[in-house]
Structure 1
Amino acid sequence: MTLLEALFVFVVGYVSGTVTRWFAGFAAFAALALAFFGLAAPPAFFDLVDPVVDVYTGNELLFLSGLLFAISEVRQTGRARARRWRRRRRD
């Protein structure tokens, strides 16, 4: 695997993690509804997914590292932390 391929797999994992973080509730509800109605994975879906899965076979840890890195990302500025600390101190 070249460095460019490794970077690509990590970036795709990172983007997937970001999307997962944004739409986790909606995705869970949609998956439950699709499974309930028996529409979860039509056979044509697997024909589309197989080439993509071939890219990630053997690179699962790299993909998961990007996914988990994006999910756990919490951005707070120093000002936001200071405001929260002051509020706790007042109470």
Structure 2
Amino acid sequence: MSLFTAVVVFVVGLLSGIVVRWVAGLAAALALVLVLLGATTPDIGLITFVMEQYYHGNELLFLAGLLFGLDAEHTRDAVEG
């Protein structure tokens, strides 16, 4: 792997992490609003559909996102010094 390729991969990973953190923050705020409005009880068929179509087989992706979210505070402290 050349130095250029390594830098590009690192930058893409960094930008992906920033975007994921931003989107996760928006999703959390939207979820809070939905809870406060009482609109968080979806049809059970919808939950089953989402679980079967998107979650099944993506457990590692889910865990990666979860661990990234849990480690976000530590990462911010480490980067800021």
Task: Give the TM-score, by structure 2 length.
Answer: 0.43
Q: Which has the higher contact order (CA 8 A, sep 6+)?
A: 1
Q: Which has the larger radius of gyration?
A: 1
